[in-house]
Amino acid sequence: MKASAFNYARATSVVNALELLVAHGDKAKVLSGGQSLMPAMNLRLISPELIVDIGEIAELRGIAVRGGALIIGALTRHVDLLKSPEVAAHAPLLTEAIAHVAHPAIRNRGTIGGSLAHADPASELPACMIALNATIIVRSQTGERRIAAGDFFTGVYETALSAQELLIAVELPVARKSSVHFFHEFARRHGDYAIAGLAAQAIVLGDVFTDLRMVLFAVGDRPVLARSAEKLIDVVVTPALLSDASAALGEELDPPEDQQASASMRRHLAKVLLARCVSTLLGRPDLDVGGSV
């Protein structure tokens, strides 16, 4: 289908974009890369009266490292993240995850800010932001708010962002030398929406996790930071302990059912991902119990 009619404004600056958002409230929708907004409009899931195109605002673009933090502008495209040496050095989880975000033609337009503000529960970047302890920076006419990624995603396509605010950038703590990461997702076709996925960042000392942030996606209405993974910190992981954590994860999740997968299939895949993640990060093939969890 085609999008229904709307008015279009090309914002010339963040200040100008905020003026437009204040004037039009929730009748306006921000267009960055458009790779989620355009499908939603073409399918007539949403019909905004005004599109505020922020695509030309140069100040929202770019990747910088400042004072122990990696700062990524909202308009930075997926392809820019994928090719960035700064991201590869300081947030390698993100580099690995981006390869799973849709297809090359979509990664050439889609932006990190757009993906986060859209908050699709099956998308990779929101989960990575929580795993990496990111801060999401939003601006309104009254000033700037810094929101922890864990508080930003509030439901299916819902975030802490108000209709008068613009997502400006994300700030990630630079990965520590001893940190390791894991990313995997199950999808019908490479680049499709995940049926279940996991993004994790951890610190391993010897053969023990001293920190483990494991975030599952496509298994709830928002990315889920697994509390059950805490059982695996500061202890030697045995098959029995992993099995306990796996059972706890199953209880922690309340996955949706749709035409791609049942709730029990998603729960099963989440447990498989947990085992693979722990086994990979600790270098312990004996813990990868694969499909038999």
- Which spans of this chain sit near another protein (rule: CB under 8 A)? 1-8, 10, 31, 34-35, 38-39, 42-43, 51, 53, 55, 79, 102-106, 108-109, 189-191
Least gap, CB of 83 to another protein (angstroms): 11
Is the Cβ of residue 6 or residue 256 nearer to another protein in the bound state? 6
Give the whole-angstrom CA distance, residue 268 versus residue 272: 6
Is the Cβ of residue 56 or residue 144 nearer to another protein in the bound state? 56
Longest CA–CA separation in the chain, Å? 60
Least gap, CB of 36 to another protein (angstroms): 9
Give the whole-angstrom CA distance, residue 79 versus residue 262: 32
Is the Cβ of residue 74 or residue 170 nearer to another protein in the bound state? 74
Neighbouring CB atoms inside 10 A of 51's CB total 21
**DSSP assignment string, 129-176:** HHHTT-EEEEEETTEEEEEEHHHHEEETTEES--TT-EEEEEEEEPPP
Is the Cβ of residue 105 or residue 205 nearer to another protein in the bound state? 105
What is the 8-class DSSP label of residue 100? T
- Six token digits for residue 258: 């749709």
Least gap, CB of 277 to another protein (angstroms): 23
Q: Judge contact between 22 and 141, C-beta under 8 A.
A: yes
Is the Cβ of residue 111 or residue 246 nearer to another protein in the bound state? 111
Least gap, CB of 50 to another protein (angstroms): 9
* H or E, element range at 224: strand 224-225
Least gap, CB of 132 to another protein (angstroms): 25
